[in-house]
Amino acid sequence: MNTTIKVISTLSFIILPLMGMEPQGLKNIGNSCFMNAAMQCLAALPDFKRFLAGSSDLYNPESFAAAFSAFLQHQTDEFRLQDIGMRGWSLMKKDPGTTQDADEFLGHVLDQLIAANWPEGFERPRRRLARLFSIKTSSSLSYPAEGLYGTNQIDRHLSLNLPVHPDDIHISQCLHHFFEGDKVDYTLRTGRKIKADTRVSLDMTSKYLILNLKRKVRNPEGSMVRLLNALAFPLKNLPLHDYCLDPAKKLGNYDACGIIMHAGGADGGHYVAYVKVGQQWFYCNDTLVAMIPHEEVIKLVNRGYGENEHFLATTLIYERSSEPYALLEVEPWASPAVLKKAYERKLPTVANLTRDSALAEEIVEVLKDAYNQLSGND
d(CA 62, CA 82): 14
Q: Are 327 and 8 in contact (CB under 8 A)?
A: yes
- Give tens-digit pLDDT for 327-365: 333 333 344 454 455 555 444 444 444 444 555 565 566
Enumerate residues 6+ apart whose C-beta is below 8 A from 270.
33, 262, 263, 264
**Per-domain residue ranges of the chain:** 3-334, 338-375
* Burial bucket for residue 211 (CB in 10 Å: 0-12, 13-18, 19+): buried
The distance of Cα 131 from the centroid of its chain, to the nearest Å, equals 15
Task: Return the percentage of the chain with pLDDT > 70, whole number.
Answer: 69
- Work out the pLDDT band at 142, boundaries 50, 70, 90: confident
Check whether 50 has a pLDDT greater than 90.
Answer: no
Q: Which residues pair with 254 in a beta bridge?
A: 320
Enumerate residues 6+ apart whose C-beta is below 8 A from 187.
193, 194
The distance of Cα 137 from the centroid of its chain, to the nearest Å, equals 20
pTM for the structure as a whole: 0.77
Q: What is the dotted CATH code of the domain comprising 3-334?
A: 3.90.70.10
Check whether 282 has a pLDDT greater than 90.
Answer: yes
- Work out the pLDDT band at 120, boundaries 50, 70, 90: low
Enumerate residues 6+ apart whose C-beta is below 8 A from 300.
259, 274, 306
- Work out the pLDDT band at 368, boundaries 50, 70, 90: low
Average pLDDT score over residue span 284-289 = 92
Residue type at 72 in one-letter notation:
L
On average, the pLDDT of the chain sits at 77
